[in-house]
Amino acid sequence: MNSANNAAVVVGVDGSEPALRAVRLAAAEAARRHRPLRVVHGFIWPLLHVPLSPAPGAPPGGGLRHGAEELVTAAVAEAEATAPGLSISGEIIDGEAAAVLVGESTTAALIVLGDRGLGGFSALVVGSVAVQVAAYADCPVLVARGQQRPDEPVLAAVDGSEASRVAADFAAETAVSRGVPLVAMHAYRHPGSSGPGDMQPLVYDEATLHGEQERMLAGWLTGLTERHPTVRLTCRAVRGRTGTVLADASRSAQLVVVGGQGRGEVTGLLLGSVSQSLLHHARCPVAVVRAPQ
């Protein structure tokens, strides 16, 4: 995350209801982090050589450019109502939405966007823009989805990878700023478990295995409370597939934080399978934090 004091929280808008939910989430997060908020709209029409001005004889307030200006103005007003006194600016940037937000991520503290936009199909659980931005952004990406539960803890996925270490630090910082506990969760499978049926070995000691996984999780989190001394940390090791375990746990969380790619995922993927699974199935907002390249 860009730690510069003037680095803004950036929210992408397109006039949809998911985008307005993202605006409210972004405004609250910017206020908590004492950062300015930038409302950005990716204006793709100039790239398609579509006329932007009102058609001849049409009312002067028409046209695509004017429509974009109105939706940015409405989003800024929504942010001002959410966080009065917050420093807020709005801008229309020519370009495709995902490309514009990825470009913004090089100087942003955080990118926030909705899980679906106006161009998304209603049957899709998450839009392609959210997946693309989460995969390529240079700063953490917060996707507004599911329910808002301000009294519930922040949940962090931990697997011992560098990506999960960075994500855990972001989660701890977020939990402290929100005044809630942090739950660090590690999902594990039994040794030898594989295949669609996830068959278990005939002989194993569940209590011993669980204790080993808890000790491993505690070791991975060594130093976290030193870096974030006021965080209220709980560690949980849970047997099961990581995506399923975290999606179930998201029902009682206000935010799930996951690394862009974790241990055991295919090298070369910009966005790991666990991150993608949560973007599709989590029941609360999801933050994807990629380790520095």
Contact 204, 191 (CB under 8 A): yes
**How far apart are the C-alpha atoms of 9 and 30, rounded to whole Å?**
6
How high is the pLDDT of residue 47?
58
Q: And the tokens for 276?
A: 């993608």
Task: Tell me the pLDDT tens digit for each residue of 3-29.
Answer: 666 899 999 999 999 999 999 999 999
Task: Tell me the pLDDT tens digit for each residue of 214-256.
Answer: 999 999 999 999 999 999 999 999 999 999 999 999 999 999 9
How confident is the model over 117-122, as a mean pLDDT? 48
Crossing angle for the helix pair 64-82 and 17-33, nearest 10 degrees? 50
How much is the pTM?
0.86
How high is the pLDDT of residue 80?
98
Contact 99, 83 (CB under 8 A): no
Q: Which of 189-203, 235-249, 254-268, 279-293 has the highest mean pLDDT?
A: 235-249
**How far apart are the C-alpha atoms of 223 and 25, rounded to whole Å?**
29
How high is the pLDDT of residue 207?
87
The single-letter code of the amino acid at 275 is S
Confidence of residue 57 (pLDDT cuts 50, 70, 90): low
For residue 172, the tally of other CB atoms under 10 A from its CB is: 25
| Mean pLDDT computed over every residue of the chain | 85
DSSP string, 147-201: ---TTSPEEEE--SSHHHHHHHHHHHHHHHHHT--EEEEEEE--TT--TTTTPPP
Is residue 52 scored above 70 in pLDDT? no
**How far apart are the C-alpha atoms of 261 and 162, rounded to whole Å?**
9
